[in-house]
């Protein structure tokens, strides 16, 4: 069905090879094996000359391989820690035929994590697709849905490639004072940008005919009376140029990206952090390995991690238990919080505190579509974006708004645009273990009628329409659509944050309260918001900070 997914029998990992990989990743020192050479990639510590061999002999599991997990894998590997990354999804190597991923308007099993229907795009949501370990896992919550990338690379495979850095004044409004913005700005944001290869949309691409949507968005910002903030994207623009020249499959140049980028233009962490981690010789990545339970070892500081290995049909090939010194949670805000909330409820990690699972936020996201625009934006819009704008004069608090390129159907005729409004709100939900169903659930008690995020989002959508359409004599154009029934508004988030919030369930350096060798380094550590911007860069920078503190404190 999906030729690039099919392995020959010789290519399929057998039980012996997987156990051998686990042994290499977890027990090489105990077995007397010689460690591989340590990588010299990047600074190990920004503040101390910590030797990368001072943790040699220790073992770690990293649960998940997205932004935070990839940072942990690299820095642990550089420090000499024998590290195994457990990733429930598959690898997604870019195929020469341009058919690694499905597309937004033609989804198949590759789109969804073992689901009968595509997870996004209301025009295709009712289609039936084969069940497969696809790219996006949509969590159906009580009051909100949340989507997460699945595969080696985690959320970086499916995110929109937006990597803006928040402004200081917004950051300090959201984050606790113990997280020093100047330190992040001086050390960790630059390090994350360098590793991820971020940069703004180049001028030559902005001028290309495929990018009329980007130019239209800049004109709309001017109409509003705002200033465009040109920010970075996690994109290799040379590959996009190859797309436009016809030498690579059209991906970002036609608005694709949520289901992956067939040209390979997205600088997901499987292109940078993870191969660098594997190059240390101390890191093993095991795809299609799903963590089921984490247990403390009585009288010790280590853990037992129960994991099942599955095939591409979802069948369980084997289960096993790994014993390690350290566990780094990086499975995404929902799954990290769900694993730990379940462990607390079932008594396998009884010392977790009552803040586990609390503080889940949707990053203040409010998605809208604007139709029948008075400007031609192009149906297949070159992207992924260009700039955001801030409205600091908004009477209900500061707001940001960005444009997201989309591959709209041709019937849209270039008259539609998708925009993400972001607000700073205290509105929060939780991830709670429900014994009646035997699993953790996402609970968000803020309906469309009483949600602060929705109310402020709707207000600003109207404000933007009045200033960019109505006052130009065109009130019937650009009317915003934001009903949750169509996956707009705040009903479904790509940026779920919190659940293991710093200063509450964990320390400001990611150490989980109650366990000195258990850490959280993904979006669950953030306080429900990344301060009016998409969170990928901040998750990466905060994870870098956490790993520096870990290495320095344990050296």
Same domain, 533 and 551: yes
So what's the pLDDT on residue 409?
A: 76
Tokens of 90: 């598959």
Is 540 among the domain residues? yes
So what's the pLDDT on residue 123?
A: 86
Position 14 pLDDT exceeds 80: no
Same domain, 370 and 344: no
Same domain, 373 and 469: yes
Active-site hit among 296, 404, 427, 469:
404
Is 188 among the domain residues? yes
Describe the chain by its helix, strand, coil percentages, rounded to 5. 30, 25, 50
So what's the pLDDT on residue 2?
A: 52
DSSP per-residue letters across 490-542: TSEES--EEEB-BTTTB-TTSBBTT-TTEEE-SGGGS-S--SSS-SHHHHHHH
Q: Known catalytic residue: 404?
A: yes
389 contacts 400 by C-beta, under 8 angstroms: yes
So what's the pLDDT on residue 43?
A: 39
Q: Final residue of a domain: which of 489, 504, 521?
A: 489
Same domain, 191 and 291: yes
At 27, the pLDDT band (50, 70, 90 cuts) reads very low
**pLDDT tens figures, 432-483:** 999 999 999 999 999 999 999 999 999 999 999 999 999 999 999 999 999 9
123 vs 506, which has greater pLDDT? 506
288 contacts 307 by C-beta, under 8 angstroms: no
Same domain, 143 and 208: no
Is 11 among the domain residues? no
Helices vs. strands in the chain: H and E counts, helices first: 12, 21
Q: Final residue of a domain: which of 436, 457, 489?
A: 489
So what's the pLDDT on residue 54?
A: 65
Q: How far is CA 309 from CA 11, 13, 198, 315, in A?
A: 16, 10, 34, 8
Is 312 among the domain residues? yes
Instruction: Report how far residue 387's alpha carbon sits from residue 215's, in angstroms, rounded to the nearest whole number.
Output: 10
148 contacts 139 by C-beta, under 8 angstroms: yes
Position 39 pLDDT exceeds 50: no
Q: Left, alpha or beta for 450 (phi > 0: left; psi -120 to 50: alpha)? A: alpha
So what's the pLDDT on residue 414?
A: 84
Note the pTM of the prediction, 2 decimals.
0.91
The total domain count for the chain is 2
For 293-387, where are the alpha helices, taking DSSP H only? 333-346
At 249, the pLDDT band (50, 70, 90 cuts) reads very high
Tokens of 297: 């070892």
Same domain, 212 and 293: no
Q: Which of 3-12, 419-428, 460-469, 540-549 shows the lowest per-residue confidence on average (mean pLDDT)?
A: 3-12
Is 36 among the domain residues? no
Secondary structure class of 186 (helix, strand, coil)? helix
Same domain, 391 and 534: no
Is 136 among the domain residues? yes
Q: What percent of the chain stands above pLDDT 70?
A: 90
Q: Known catalytic residue: 495?
A: yes
242 vs 13, which has greater pLDDT? 242
Radius of gyration over alpha carbons of the chain, in Å?
A: 23
Position 335 pLDDT exceeds 80: yes
Is 8 among the domain residues? no
Same domain, 330 and 405: no
So what's the pLDDT on residue 531?
A: 98
**pLDDT tens figures, 518-541:** 999 999 999 999 999 999 999 999
So what's the pLDDT on residue 55?
A: 86
Position 12 pLDDT exceeds 70: no
Q: Final residue of a domain: which of 455, 489, 523?
A: 489
Active-site hit among 271, 495, 513, 549:
495
92-98, long-range: CB < 8 A, 24+ apart: 92/135, 92/151, 92/152, 92/153, 92/157, 92/260, 92/270, 94/262, 94/263, 94/264, 95/4, 95/262, 97/4, 98/248, 98/249, 98/262, 98/263
**pLDDT tens figures, 186-238:** 999 999 999 999 999 999 999 999 999 999 999 999 999 999 999 999 999 99
343 vs 125, which has greater pLDDT? 343
Mean per-residue pLDDT, 323-333? 98
Position 488 pLDDT exceeds 70: yes
Which residues are paired to 84 by β-bridges?
A: 61, 284
In this structure, the strands spanning 399-404 and 387-391 are antiparallel
Largest CA distance in the chain: 77
274 contacts 400 by C-beta, under 8 angstroms: no
277 contacts 73 by C-beta, under 8 angstroms: yes
Q: What is the CATH number of the domain that holds 383?
A: 3.30.410.10
At 330, the pLDDT band (50, 70, 90 cuts) reads very high
CB atoms within 10 A of CB 513: 18
Same domain, 545 and 404: no
- Domain, as residue range, for 147: 54-92+109-197+267-362+494-555
Same domain, 306 and 327: yes
Same domain, 209 and 231: yes
Angle, CA 282 vertex, CA 277 and CA 285 arms, to 5°: 60
**pLDDT tens figures, 49-77:** 334 456 888 999 999 999 999 999 999 99
Is 99 among the domain residues? no
266 contacts 234 by C-beta, under 8 angstroms: yes
Mean per-residue pLDDT, 345-353? 98
Same domain, 146 and 76: yes
Q: Which of 36-50, 76-90, 240-254, 453-467 shows the lowest per-residue confidence on average (mean pLDDT)?
A: 36-50
Q: What is the CATH number of the domain that holds 80?
A: 3.50.50.60
What integer best gives the mean pLDDT of the chain? 91
At 379, the pLDDT band (50, 70, 90 cuts) reads confident
């Amino acid at each position: 069905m999906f030729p690039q997914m099919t392995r020959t029998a010789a290519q399929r990992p057998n039980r012996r090879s997987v156990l051998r990989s686990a042994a290499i990743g977890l027990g090489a020192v105990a077995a007397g094996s010689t460690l591989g050479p340590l990588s010299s990639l990047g600074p190990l510590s920004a503040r101390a000359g910590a030797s990368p061999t001072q943790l040699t002999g220790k073992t770690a599991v990293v649960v998940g391989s997205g932004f935070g997990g990839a940072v942990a894998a690299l820095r642990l590997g550089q420090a000499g820690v024998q590290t195994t990354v457990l990733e429930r999804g598959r690898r997604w190597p870019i195929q020469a035929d341009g058919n690694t991923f499905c597309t937004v308007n033609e989804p198949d099993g590759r789109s969804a994590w073992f689901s009968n229907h595509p997870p996004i795009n209301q025009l295709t949501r009712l289609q039936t697709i084969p069940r497969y370990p696809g790219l996006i896992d949509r969590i159906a919550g009580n009051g909100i849905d949340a989507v997460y990338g699945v595969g080696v690379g985690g959320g970086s495979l499916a995110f929109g490639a937006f990597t803006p850095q928040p402004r200081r004044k917004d950051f300090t409004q959201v984050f606790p004072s113990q997280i020093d913005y100047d330190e992040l700005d001086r050390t960790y944001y630059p390090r994350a940008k360098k590793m991820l290869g971020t940069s703004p949309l180049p001028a030559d691409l902005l001028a290309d005919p495929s990018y009329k949507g980007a130019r239209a968005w800049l004109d709309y910002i001017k109409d509003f009376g705002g200033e465009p903030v040109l920010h970075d994207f996690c994109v290799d623009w040379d590959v996009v140029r190859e797309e436009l020249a016809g030498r690579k499959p059209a991906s970002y140049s036609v608005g694709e990206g949520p289901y992956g980028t067939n040209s390979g233009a997205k600088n997901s962490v499987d292109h940078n952090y993870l191969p660098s981690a594997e190059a240390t010789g101390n890191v093993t990545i095991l795809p299609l390995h799903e963590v089921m339970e984490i247990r403390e070892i009585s009288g010790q500081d280590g853990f037992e991690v129960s994991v099942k290995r599955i095939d591409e049909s979802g069948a369980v090939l084997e289960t096993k238990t790994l014993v390690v010194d350290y566990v780094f949670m990086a499975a995404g805000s929902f799954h990290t919080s769900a694993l730990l909330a379940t462990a607390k409820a079932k008594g396998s990690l009884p010392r977790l505190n009552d803040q586990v699972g609390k503080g889940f936020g949707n990053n203040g996201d409010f998605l809208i579509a604007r139709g029948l625009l008075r400007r031609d934006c192009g149906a297949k819009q070159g992207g992924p974006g260009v700039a955001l704008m801030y409205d600091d004069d908004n009477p209900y608090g500061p707001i940001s708004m960005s444009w997201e390129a989309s591959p709209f159907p041709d019937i849209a005729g270039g008259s539609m645009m998708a925009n993400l409004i972001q607000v700073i709100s205290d509105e929060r939900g939780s991830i709670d273990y429900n014994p009646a169903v035997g699993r953790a659930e996402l609970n968000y008690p803020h309906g469309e009628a009483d949600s602060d995020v929705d109310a402020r989002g709707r207000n600003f959508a109207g404000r933007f329409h009045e200033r960019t359409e109505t006052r130009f004599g065109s009130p019937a154009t650009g009317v915003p659509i934001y009903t949750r029934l169509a996956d707009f508004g705040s009903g479904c988030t790509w940026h779920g944050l919190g659940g293991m919030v710093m200063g509450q369930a964990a320390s400001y350096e990611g150490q989980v309260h109650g366990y000195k060798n258990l850490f959280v380094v993904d979006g669950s550590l953030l306080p429900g918001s990344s301060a009016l911007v998409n969170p990928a860069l901040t998750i990466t920078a905060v994870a870098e900070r956490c790993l520096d503190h870990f290495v320095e404190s344990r050296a």
